Structure 1
């Protein structure tokens, strides 16, 4: 039996489109995903990005829950540095009160990463080269340190936090979230929230704190091949090495993400995937994701060598092709990482192409 297959949606805003258009497409895609047989439907949290409408996961998940019946819904991920543990528990507790037993609370770090980026700039890690592990491409790593340490990043962080606030310690936030869910803080009862039937996940892009904390607490872990493909193996290894059994899990449980575009033939898939590189370039130049370009807009872009280097790892690790080809590459990803589940994200300019991509993949994967 194939491992479960799920969707990560950023609610992409298209060139010439609006956030409202993007969010309505998300609701339509979620309805279709449920019919196609996907296991989970997660939405991201991104801010200050003209090309992404998914900024408030809990709000968006409530809308998705209202138009679906059974698919699990979750956050990929709520950023713990942008709000208090109590507000997170109350938001997802409210969702669970209205639609019981359907939600995954995926958590990620924020704030702390900027401090780590400043340290990385002063003491960069040794360079690593592209290599292949049992058929899986592990590209040269891309460093987010210059972006996270920039003045723009400092400004955006100040807008996401209360004046004078310091990034919270990630394990301490998890302690509070777990205590509020369990109702063990007698003087502070989260209503709704206490006793909510939530599946708690940790997301991470490296073998750092997120992977270790997820393992130490016996929580499921989601690793990003689509965001930081160079670090996926170290992330899942660190998680498994740190794992301790818990009430939620007796053994490690890993989900790994991937960028995919599926079409009936290779030529169509390559054309649909062509804007991906230009979109990634806009993110990595520090301006935030632009509205997703049309294939013609992408084809008209004049690429420099520096541009190509900037996005090389993400372009090379996007799985674009026929259903059989993409499924085979996903099986390689699953085999090499030992993933218990896979999480795919697809962005195309035309919504019908995007829905069709997910439909083709589900038919190939699930049979």
Structure 2
């Protein structure tokens, strides 16, 4: 069974390179993905780290302008850092110029981060369950925020992202606001009708994103929305996440059945050995995130030092669940993930030191998966 493949790009900055080049690489990859037959191209939102995707809505507009047919969207706008109207008006503006191509992915990292800031570091559940391999899919123990080594920079970033004294709306309430603003039914608590211009009636498809079986998965199901489950972020919780979404699902006008996208980290090369070498600095990048410092420059695999034992253990779940190898090897593992989760679509994200290696990875995978190349626009 062949299902659509889509791309999530983080605009990684390689060691010795610049944010400017990272953004140019993202736009180039979007053009390449469109020609290769990928279904969507999504960008993430990260702040105060060495990835350049800090302003996803701006970047989405630039990508939409540089492409012709591929769907473009966010994975995801972090609602705790934005007001509902700013999100809807921004996406409405892009949709007014490039109608019918936008996916508005919504995430609750902002609200979860606020909870962390207010309540302190959550404890690490114990004991963790052992790694399981189910039908060819690696399911490691879940990683919890309390396992981060240092929260100093995380808390400082949160303070800077919010206006003094402000607190984000509860996630469910903000999702409801955004949906009402998009369909033109928004009314304030005082009974005043307000209409987003542009935004109301825009051909924008809302999505929810999640890494657990909690609020996001259940809310997506209750509203009859498509849902993206983050195997690449939280591989240890993918089964409970997709099960919670399907259990909560109620048919909607556009989605009579659940629609599930599952993400995966991949890196493809001509052969397994080459791919493993190109991916050998991936663990360093994940460690920089989990150390609390945030994503660092992506290191050259030719010169990156070996990780220590404790460093390797901290990132083992992400390294062992990165799908690395030849086109046949990666396609086989992606298909196993599809079968386990029942995914309707797979979302691949790839990080490599050299942009050409990343482009080649997507090209090789597209060919192996059987995507249909698109003719270039005149």
Name the TM-score, length of structure 1 as normaliser: 0.96
Residues of 1 paired with 2:123 and 2:138: CA distance? 29
Match of 2:325 among 321, 325, 344: 321
Contact 2:149 2:291 (C-alpha < 8 Å) held by counterparts = no
Residue 220 of structure 2, aligned match among 210, 214, 217 = 214
Retained in 2: the 8 A contact 1:141–1:229? yes
Tell me, what secondary structure is at the counterpart of 2:302? helix
Asked if 2 retains the 8 angstrom alpha-carbon contact of 1:277 and 1:315, the reply is yes
Give the C-alpha shift of residue 249 in structure 1: 1.0
* Alignment pair present for 1:236 and 2:242: yes
In structure 2, do the counterparts of structure 1 residues 168 and 280 end up closer, same or farther at CA, with 3 Å as the change threshold? same
Conserved? CA contact 2:232–2:321, under 8 Å = yes
Q: Which residue of 2 aligns with 1:133?
A: 134
Q: How does 1:261-300 map to 2 (within 5 A)?
A: 261-298=267-304
Q: Distance in 1 between matches of 2:216 and 2:150?
A: 20
1:124 corresponding residue in structure 2 = 125
Tell me the equivalent position of 1:200.
Answer: 206
CA offset digits 1:38-96 (Å, max 9, x no partner) = 0000000001112x000111100111111100000010000000010000000000010
* 2:37 corresponding residue in structure 1: 37
1:168 aligns with 2:180: no
Match of 2:376 in 1: none
For residue 366 of structure 1, what is the aligned residue in structure 2? Answer: 370
Q: Could you say if the C-alpha distance between residues 261 and 122 of structure 1 is closer, same or farther in structure 2, counting changes exceeding 3 Å?
A: closer
Does the C-alpha gap of structure 1 residues 11 and 179 become closer, same or farther in structure 2, counting only changes over 3 Å? same
> 2: CA distance between counterparts of 1:174 and 1:114?
17
CA distance in 1, matches of 2:121, 2:297: 30
2:266 match: secondary structure: strand
CA distance in 2, matches of 1:156, 1:146: 18
Distance of 2:12 and 2:309 partners within structure 1: 27
Provide closer, same or farther for how the CA distance between residues 258 and 123 of structure 1 changes in structure 2, counting only shifts above 3 A: closer
Change (3 A) 1:151 1:47: same
Structure-2 residue corresponding to 1:53: 52
Does the CA-based 8 Å contact 1:10-1:53 persist in structure 2?
yes
Alpha-carbon distance in 2 for matches of 1:263, 1:150 = 36
Q: Answer whether contact 1:110 1:167 (CA < 8 A) is retained.
A: no
**194 and 293 in structure 1: CA distance in 2 versus 1, 3 angstrom threshold:** same
Contact 1:47–1:55 (CA<8 Å) still a contact in 2?
A: yes
Please tell me whether the aligned partners of residues 113 and 148 of structure 1 are also in contact (alpha carbons under 8 angstroms). Answer: no
Tell me by how many angstroms 1:150 deviates. 2.6
Cα distance, 1:126 vs structure 2: 4.8
How far off its partner does 1:289 sit?
0.7
Aligned to 2:67: 68
- Does structure 2 retain, via aligned residues, the 8 Å contact 1:114–1:145? no
**Retained in 1: the 8 A contact 2:79–2:111?**
no
1:15 pairs with 2:15: yes
Deviations 1:216-261 (A, max 9, x none): 1111110111111000111001111111111221111100000111
The answer as to whether partners of 1:147 and 1:153 remain within 8 angstroms in 2 is: no
Is contact 1:114–1:149 with CA below 8 Å preserved after alignment?
A: no
Partner of 2:193: 187
CA shift for structure 1 position 125:
5.7
SS class of match (1:81): helix
C-alpha separation in 1, matches of 2:149 and 2:67 = 37
Q: Return the alpha-carbon distance in structure 2 between the equivalents of residues 136 and 174 of structure 1.
A: 32
In structure 1, what is the Cα distance between the partners aligned to 2:258 and 2:150?
Answer: 33
Q: Output the CA distance in 1 between the equivalents of 2:12 and 2:212.
A: 25
For residue 189 of structure 2, what is the aligned residue in structure 1? none
Deviations 1:98-146 (Å, cap 9, x if unpaired)? 1000000000003332365548735736522111112211012221235
RMSD over aligned CA atoms reads 1.6
When residues 294 and 89 of structure 1 are mapped into structure 2, their CA distance, relative to the original with a 3 A threshold, is: same
Q: Which runs of 5+ in 2 are unaligned?
A: 187-191, 372-378
Q: Distance in 2 between matches of 1:154 and 1:30?
A: 33
> Is the 8 Å Cα contact of residues 114 and 148 (structure 1) preserved in structure 2?
no
CA distance, structure 1, for counterparts of residue 111 and residue 127 of structure 2: 22
